[in-house]
Amino acid sequence: MSTKTFQLISACAAVMLTTTGVRATIVDLTTSTSGDINGGIFTTDFTQPAGSGVIDPFLTIQNTGLEQGYNGTDSNFDTKRVPQYTHEIQLGDLNVQTVNGQQYYSFLIDTNQQNNNPNSLISLDMVKIFTSSSLQSNTSTDTNGLFNGSLGTLRYSFSSGSYVKYNDANSGSGQADIAFLVPVSDFAGSKSTDYVYMYQQFGTEYSANGGYEETTIGSGEKLTPIPEVSALLPLGGVLLVAGGMQYARRRRDVTA
């Protein structure tokens, strides 16, 4: 698949996943395996690390209904297990995955909902990623109680009606559910020693109701896409995005 073809498919997928009138993007991972918001890719199409309980998170959040927090060491908002599983990370800690010639920093998200529909549904409604040369702490909120402060230089974000929908019915704790890829180009000018802060907010569209939502640093070796031909055929062009990711991964493995 050529770069131009992949870019065209990605653009079509973004249009098909974008709601009308509000310029918000919904990535529905209950009906597709991949989607993007503001250049960040969210996908369930990857191979799980071997064994159970392998998640080593840097961000842990838990609350009922709406939950939010970022990876500081100040027990902000709904963060839990500070500092062992909620703590600062640095840019040099992150791993790079190449997809169709573009480099991404990879993260894995483990959701923990009740395992019965519709309670197994959850939404990731806001993500903000900052870098800073110094340690940061901020709990500023808007009138709705949502974080609106700064933790340094904003590198990636989505909010204002965009969200990722996921069904956690068949996955247990300690296993990654969603791979989240952020373009390395978003971090231009940052240093390997800069601190990386990721803020997340779950539960606006589909409420949180179970255990911890955990995020860990992804590894390219653990993100080999799985072929899903039967899933791609009925959904057509949108899911070819996942196919493009699979092709890029296989090509990289062959040439490595």
Q: Which two tokens stand for residue 123?
A: 């939404």
What's the pTM value of the predicted model, to 2 decimals?
Answer: 0.78
User: How high is the mean pLDDT in each 10-residue block of the chain (256 residues)?
Assistant: 42 43 83 97 79 78 98 97 97 95 95 88 98 98 97 96 92 80 98 98 96 90 40 37 43 45
State residue 248's pLDDT score: 44
Q: What is the pLDDT of residue 48?
A: 64
Q: Which residues contact 75 (CB under 8 A, 6 or more apart)?
A: 82, 86
The DSSP secondary-structure symbol of 65 reads: B
pLDDT of residue 173: 67
What single-letter amino acid sits at 120? S
The b/e string for 210-237 (b: 16+ C-beta within 10 A; e otherwise) is bbbbbbbbbebebbebeebeebbeeeee
pLDDT digit string, tens, across residues 9-19: 444 444 444 43
pLDDT score of 160: 85
Instruction: Tell which residue, 127, 124, 128, has the closest CA to residue 168.
Output: 124
Cβ-proximal residues to 238 (8 Å cutoff; 6+ apart), any chain: 12, 13, 16, 17, 32, 35
Helices (H) and strands (E) in the chain, counts: 3, 14
Q: Is the peptide bond before 83 cis (omega within 30 degrees of 0)?
A: yes
* pLDDT tens profile 161-205: 999 999 998 666 667 899 999 999 999 999 999 999 999 999 999
Q: Which pLDDT tens digit goes with each residue over 149-162?
A: 999 999 999 998 99
Task: Determine the pLDDT at residue 118.
Answer: 85
Specify the pLDDT at position 54: 67
